[in-house]
Amino acid sequence: MEISSKEHTHFFSNNTIMPVDRSSFKSESSASKEKQSCCGGIKIFLGALSFVYFAKALSGSYLKSTITQIERRFDIPSSLVGVIDGSFEIGNLLIIILVSYFGAKLHRPRIIGAGCLIMSAGTFLIAMPQFFMGRYRYERFPSTINSTVSLSPCLQDKSQTPLSALEKSQTKINAGCVQTVAIIGPIFGFLLGSLCAKLYVDIGFVDLDSVTISPKDVEWVGAWWLGYLIAGVISILAGIPFWFLPKHLPKPESRKDSSTSSEHSKFIIEENKDQRTSYWQQAKLAEMAKEFFPSLKNLFGNPVYILYLCASIIQFNSLIGMVTYKPKYIEQQYGQTSSKTNFVIGLINIPAVAFGIFSGGLIMKKFGLGVLGAAKLSLGSSFFGYLLLLSLFAMGCENSDVAGLTVSYHGAKPMTDYKEALFSECNSGCSCSKNDWDPICGENGVTYVSACLAGCQASNGSGKNTVFFNCSCVGTFESSQSSSAVVGPCQKGNDCPKMFLYFLVISVITSYTLSVGGTPGYILLLRCIKPHLKSFALGIYTLAIRVLAGIPAPVYFGVAIDTTCLKWGSKRCGGRGACRLYDSSALRYVYLGLTLVLGTVSIFFSVAVLWVLRKRSSPQDETLSASGERGTCGTKSRKDNFANSDRLIQSTYWPEKETRL
C-alpha cells in the first residue's frame, strides 16, 4: 500500500515512530519499472512500425517513378505498364484476408516481420529480369558505337551490313509519427528514382564511354533495378526488430481499468485475454457470421455512405490515373528527363500533399466543423482543385518538328498519314527502315527519325560527338541553310521551359487543394456510420477503392495514352514495342481530359452527399455545427456517431494516401 503525503504529515505530527513496510517501496519500484518497460516497448514498436511504413511507401512510390523506365527497357506499351502497376493492388488483395484472419491469433510482430521479408522478396523479384534478359540494346547508327571511320548512313549499296545485324553483334557485351513517416517515404522514393534515372541501366556491366545516348534521349533507360534492390534491403532491415518483440505489449497500469480503447490500442492487451474457451470463440464466430448480412444490408442502406463511396471510387480513379502517368506526361509534354521529373515530384508535389492533409485536419479542429461543414469543405476542395486542373490545358507545348511525323520534309504542317510520309524524294535512293528510331537533329532545327531517312551521305566522329554531313533531306527543308546534323533529337520550342514552370506552380497548388478535402471527407465517412459498423465500413471502403480504382485506373489510362502515339518502336523478335513519340496536343487532352471528367463526376456525387445531409439534418444541428460543436449525419444517432471525434481526426488515413498527389 502506498503512503500519501497526508499520511506522512499525520505520522510525524504525533511524533510516533511507525514501522515502515518495505513492500510498499518494492511495489512502487516495480510499478515504475513496469511503466518504463511499457513505454519503452511501445516506443520501440512505434519506431519499428514507422520504419515499415517508410519502407512500404518508398517501394510503392519508387514503382511509380520507374514506369517510363520499365516501358522503354522491355519495349512494352503504357497499357501493359498499367497492368503491372495495378498488380501491386492485386497482391495486396490476395494476402489481406489471410492477414486479417490470422493476425489476431498468431504472433503479430512476427507476422509484420514476415510481411517485410515478403515485401523485400517482391522488390528483389521485380529487379531480376534485368539480370536475365541481357544488356539493353538501343537503336543507333553503327558509326556512333565505337568507330571513327566514316560510313554512309544512307545505305545505297544493298550489300552493306544492315543495322540489325550490327546491333546483334553487340549482344555479347554484359499513425502518428507513423503516418508522417508514410508521407516522407514517397519523397525519398521519388528522389531515389531521380538518382537511379541518371545512371545508365547497365552500369557496372558495360563501358559507359561506348554509350551514345544521354538522359535527354527518348531511348535512355536509367538503372531502374538498382532502386528496387535498395528498397528490398530497407524492407529487410525494417522487419528485423519485429522478430524480437513479445507477442503482446504490457498495458500501462494507469490504463488497465480504462473502459475505452481505440482500434489502434487493441494490440496492447494483457496475456490473460488470450485465455478464452473454445466454446466462447465458436459462439462469437457464429454470432458474427449471423450478423454479417444484416450489417451489410444496414451499411448499404445508408445513402450517405453509398454516395460517398461512389464519389471516392470515381475520384480515386481520377487521382490514381493522373499520378501513375504524371512522370510520362511531364517527360513527353515538356521534354524533361526522367531524373528531373522524379526529382520535381518528390521534392515539390508530395510535400504539398502532406501540407494539404495537415491543413484539412487543422481546419476541422480549429473551426469545430460538424458533418455538414466537413461535407462542404470536402466538396469545395474537389471543386476548386479540378477547376485549377482545367487551366493546365493552356499550359502545354507544341509538337516537336519531326520530319515525316509532325511536319513534312518541306516544312508543311500538319501530317496526316505518317507511315507513308516517312519516305520522301530526298531519301528515295536510300535503303531505310521505317521501324527504326535513331533520331538526329538537323541544323534547321528539325528532328529526323534516323540518319538514313535524313538522307545523310557521310559521318565523322564517334559516340555522342558524331556529326552527319551531306544530308539531302536537311538541305531541302524551307529554312535550311546547311545539310549537317548531330546525334539526338532537337529540343522543344523556346516557350516550353516557361510553360513547364507554369505547370509546376499550378500542379503544386492543385495537389494542395485536392488534399485539403481528404481529412474532412474521411471524417464524414466515419461520423455517418454506427459505431459497431465502423470497422466493417472501412474494410468495405478500402476493398472497393483497391478493386474498383487501384487496379483498373492505370490500365485504361494507359490504353487511352497509347492512342496518342505517333511513332512506335519495334521489338527485336518482331511486334510493336514502346512508343517513341507522342502527339503532344492529343496527349494533353487525353491525360488531363480523362482526369477532369472523372473528377467532375465525383463532384456530382459529393453534391448529392451534401444534399442528403442537409435533408436529414435539422436547423438545430446546423446551429450546433456553426457554434463549434459536432454536427450530425442523422438526428436519431447523433451521440453515437460523434463519439471520440477528436481521436478520429488525429488518426485520419485513407488507402494509399502517401502516393496520391
At residue 528, the pLDDT reads 86
Q: Which amino acid is present at 145?
A: I
If pLDDT is split at 50, 70 and 90, which confidence band does 102 have? low
Q: Chain centroid to CA 621: how far?
A: 39
Indicate if the pLDDT at residue 161 is higher than 70.
no
pLDDT of residue 281: 56
Q: State pLDDT tens for residues 17-74.
A: 444 444 444 445 555 555 555 555 678 888 888 899 899 899 989 999 999 899 988 8
**What cell does 336 get?**
524533361
DSSP code for 489 = P
- For residue range 556-567, list pLDDT tens digits in order: 999 999 999 998
Q: Give the separation between CA 405 and CA 416, rounded to whole angstroms.
A: 8
Query: Does 6 have pLDDT greater than 50?
Result: no
Degrees to nearest 5, angle at CA 375 with 371 and 380: 150
Please state, in angstroms and rounded to a whole number, the distance separating the CA atoms of residues 661 and 285: 41
All 3 cell numbers of residue 481?
541553310
The proportion of the chain whose per-residue pLDDT surpasses 70, expressed as a percent, equals 71
Report the alpha-carbon distance of residue 415 to residue 496 in Å, rounded.
22
Q: Which of 412, 423, 429, 426 is CA-nearest to residue 158?
A: 429
Q: What is the pLDDT of residue 638?
A: 41
Mean pLDDT within 233-250: 86
Question: Quick check: helix, strand or coil at residue 125?
Answer: helix
Q: What is the pLDDT of residue 599?
A: 96
Q: List CB contacts of 407: < 8 A, sequence separation 6 or more.
A: 401, 413, 414, 415, 446
- Angle formed by the axes of helices 326-334 and 584-616, nearest 10°: 140
Letter for the amino acid at 309? L
Q: From CA 537, how far away is CA 338, in angstroms rounded? A: 40
CA distance 568 to 582: 9
Q: Give the span between the Cα atoms of 371 and 380, in whole angstroms.
A: 14
Q: Record the pTM.
A: 0.79
Residue 159 has pLDDT above 50, yes or no: no
How far is residue 121's CA from residue 119's CA, in Å, rounded to a whole number?
Answer: 5
Percent of the chain with pLDDT over 90: 33
Strand 467-469 to 485-487 pairing: antiparallel
- The b-or-e profile of 426-457 (16+ CB within 10 A means b, else e) is bbeebebbebbbbbbbbbbebbbbbbbbbbbb
Please tell me whether the peptide bond between 414 and the residue prior to it is cis, using omega within 30 degrees of 0: yes
- Residue 420 is predicted with a pLDDT of 56
Sole residue written with cell 476548386 = 384
Looking at per-residue pLDDT, the higher value among 257 and 514 belongs to: 514
- In angstroms, rounded to a whole number, what is the distance separating the alpha carbons of residues 437 and 440? 10
Dihedral, 182, 186, 187, 189 alpha carbons, nearest 10: 130
**pLDDT band at 14; cut points 50, 70, 90:** very low
| C-alpha–C-alpha distance, residues 454 and 448, integer Å | 6
* pLDDT of 158 strictly over 60: no
CB 403 within 8 A of CB 448: yes
CB atoms within 10 A of CB 207: 9
Q: Return phi, psi of residue 355, to 5°.
A: -65, -35
| Residues 351, 621: Cα–Cα separation, whole Å | 36
AA identity, residue 19: P
**Higher-confidence residue: 138 or 554?**
554
Confidence check: pLDDT of 410 > 90: no
d(CA 368, CA 584): 46
Give the DSSP letter string of 65-78.
HTHHHHHHHTT--H
Q: Rounded to an integer, what distance in angstroms lies between the CA atom of residue 77 and that of residue 326? A: 16
Amino acid of residue 4: S
Kind plus residue range of the DSSP H or E element containing 568: strand 565-570
- Grid cell for residue 134: 541481357
Encode pLDDT of 116-140 as tens digits: 998 899 999 999 998 888 888 876 6
pLDDT tens for each residue of 303-334 = 999 999 999 999 999 999 999 999 999 999 99
Q: Residue 315, CB half-sphere, CA atoms under 13 Å: how many?
A: 28
Any idea which residue has 510520362 for its cell?
328
| Residue 327 to residues 65, 108, 304, 340, Cα–Cα distance (Å) | 7, 37, 36, 10
Q: Sign of the CA dihedral 298, 304, 307, 308?
A: negative
Binned at pLDDT 50, 70 and 90, residue 169 comes out as: very low
Q: What angle do CA 594, 597, 601 make, to 5 degrees?
A: 140
State how far the Cα of 497 lies from the Cα of 502, in Å rounded to an integer: 9
The answer to whether 192 and 229 have CB atoms below 8 angstroms apart is no
User: Which amino acid, 91?
Assistant: G
Tell me which residue of 76, 72, 78, 77 sits closest to 200, measured CA to CA: 72
The amino acid sitting at 597 is V
Judged by average pLDDT, the poorest of 8-17, 113-122, 333-342, 425-434 is 8-17
All cell numbers assigned to 48: 519499428
- Say if residues 627 and 369 touch (Cβ distance below 8 Å): no
- The alpha carbons of the chain give a radius of gyration, in whole angstroms, of 31
Residue pLDDT, tens place only, 463-505: 778 899 888 888 766 555 568 899 888 888 788 999 999 999 9
Bridge partners of residue 469, in order along the sequence: 458
At position 456, the amino acid (one-letter code) is C
Query: Could you give phi then psi for residue 625, rounded to 5 degrees?
Result: -65, -40
Numbers of helices and strands, H then E, in the chain: 26, 7
* CA-closest candidate to residue 652, choices 363, 400, 439: 363
Q: Are 405 and 415 in contact (CB under 8 A)?
A: yes
